[in-house]
Structure 1
Amino acid sequence: MRGLHWFRNDLRLKDNRALGDLFQAVDEWCGLFVLEPRLIDVPSVSQKRLSFLF
């Protein structure tokens, strides 16, 4: 079976419970991240985060 994980604000892999549950339930998976303007147009977003995303 295949699965899809939608990464929203949290891109962590190691301690992401939903992702761990998905790994247990499927043989193949795909990750999806949609970069929304609201995630980058705020003063609190660090340069490190922006560099990682781009």
Structure 2
Amino acid sequence: MLYWTLVFLVVAIIAGALGFGGIAGASAGLAKILFFIFLAFLVISLIAGIFRRT
């Protein structure tokens, strides 16, 4: 999932540099959503790992 976040971030940067504002905004928004989903999964995984050890 982190891979897709980075892919959409790169697409947003390239589209922004070439002047495609709509595509850049959509890609950046999607990258942001995927990043927060990845972050939530990371926190859940850390909490599950802590509870598994005890």
Relative to the length of structure 2, the TM-score reads 0.24
Relative to the length of structure 1, the TM-score reads 0.24
The answer to which structure has the higher helix fraction is 2
Q: Which of the pair has the greater relative contact order for Cα pairs under 8 Å at 6+ separation?
A: 1
Max Rg structure: 2
